[in-house]
Amino acid sequence: MRPFAYFRAEDPADAVARFGPGAMYLGGGTNLVDLMRLGVARPGLLVDVSRLPLDRVGPAAGGGGLLIGAAVRNSDLAAHPLVRERYPMLARAVLSGASGQIRNMATVGGNLLQRTRCAYFQDVSMPCNKRAPGSGCPAIAGDHENLAIIGHSAGAGGSACVATHPSDMAVALTALDARVHVTGAAGDRVIPMPGLHRLPGAEPDRDTVLEAGDLITAVELPPPPPGRSLYRKVRERASFAFALVSAAALLDVAGDGTTRGCKLALGGVAHAPWRAYTAERAVAGLPATASAFSAAADAELAQARPLPGNAHKVALARGLITAVLEELSR
């Protein structure tokens, strides 16, 4: 691990002021400390933001929503009564991620900014366009069973990347139209989700639209939309594993049995949590039936470009979308 200087910030302005070349913010450290140990992250300065006064969950200004501080621990977020009652999809997503120990340590801001678990990204002896731009992507000809099936840049040569975003929480936030509050050298701004995370395009080294020194201070949820919601995660073992495919889904069925509203996001399939707008539009106004849901899944997944070793994830995603919407329609 490269030696680093350490500074504990007292407030967000203090943290931003201290940030400079070679610096990184430290939250719970559950991903960053591991990446530093692996040599993937090599900060010369850690600005510790885990004790900033951003550890509250409470009503958002302007009515009905919820404001979640960026330093709230994942376990505290999932256990919060307002989250459990009003945003069950979010509580379920957080509870399905990692382990009890890691959820106790991990922060909301850090969860959003965790890096892909692609094995090549985490192995500094291998090329990786995300870690070392232009060096190549061995995953495309190698082990990519659990990597992206949609929105990737596999054909882009020096910027090819098929990494997936590993967060469960971010998938629920993407379905819930969360807004991410950011402060930085240029002042404060709000970034909608989807919109924080980006597809690899020509810059796979950039996971998000944040600029150097930007600090997430909070996540704001709009009032819960009408309908029932759930989060379902398909994985290789029953607990403490990343998603092969996951779905955060909300469905509002009208009295006549037609779909009045639907919000759907997928995890484990792309470089960013994938908001399934195509499927949402496809079910709108139609009878809330399995055939409508599977047709919507097909419409969404028409954009998929699976690699030779992960075509099964397209089938998984299709089955998952159909199953969760069916369950919500009952």
Chain residues that interact with other proteins, rule: CB under 8 A: 1-6, 8, 26, 28-30, 33-34, 36-37, 39, 44, 46, 48, 50, 75, 78-79, 81, 84-85, 88, 91-92, 95-96, 98-102, 104-105, 238-240
Nearest CA to 164 among 180, 151, 174, 178? 151
Q: Please say whether the beta carbons of 233 and 210 come within 8 A.
A: no
Residue closer to other proteins, measured from CB, 233 or 271: 233
Q: Which is nearer to other proteins, 49 or 218 (CB)?
A: 49
Q: Which is nearer to other proteins, 18 or 181 (CB)?
A: 18
User: Least CB distance from residue 96 to other proteins, whole Å?
Assistant: 5
Q: How far is the CB of 70 from other proteins (least distance, A)?
A: 16
Structure tokens at 104: 């106790």
Q: How far is the CB of 138 from other proteins (least distance, A)?
A: 21
Q: Which is nearer to other proteins, 110 or 306 (CB)?
A: 110
Which residue lies nearer to other proteins by CB, 4 or 258?
4
We find the least distance from the C-beta atom of residue 233 to other proteins, in angstroms, to be: 8
- Element (DSSP H or E) covering residue 48: strand 45-48
CB of 288 to other proteins, least distance (A): 23
Nearer to other proteins, 39 or 136 (CB): 39
The nearest distance, CB 237 to other proteins, in angstroms, is: 8
User: How many residues can be counted in the chain?
Assistant: 330
Helix 312-329 to helix 290-301 angle, to the nearest 10 degrees? Answer: 150
Q: CA 79 to CA 90: how far, in whole Å? A: 11
Closest CB to other proteins among 100 and 157?
Answer: 100
Minimum Å distance from CB 98 to other proteins? Answer: 7
Which amino acid is it at 201?
Answer: G
Q: CA-to-CA distance for 217 and 209, rounded, in angstroms?
A: 15
- Considering the complex, what minimum distance in angstroms separates the CB of residue 159 from other proteins? 28
Classify residue 294 by burial, with Cβ atoms within 10 Å: 0-12, 13-18, 19+.
middle
Nearer to other proteins, 110 or 151 (CB): 110
CB of 20 to other proteins, least distance (A): 15
* Structure letter (DSSP) for residue 73: B
Helix runs in 228-275, H state only: none
Calpha distance 157→91 (Å, rounded) = 39
126 or 307, CB closer to other proteins? 126
Q: Burial, 292: exposed, middle or buried (Cβ in 10 Å; 0-12, 13-18, 19+)? A: buried
Sheet with 5-8, strands from edge to edge, namely 5-8, 45-48, 23-26
Residue for token pair 């399995």? 290
Total Cβ atoms within 10 A of residue 99: 11
Q: Of the candidates 101, 96, 90, 109, which has an alpha carbon nearest to the alpha carbon of residue 48?
A: 109
> To 10 degrees, the CA torsion angle through 272, 200, 15, 103?
30
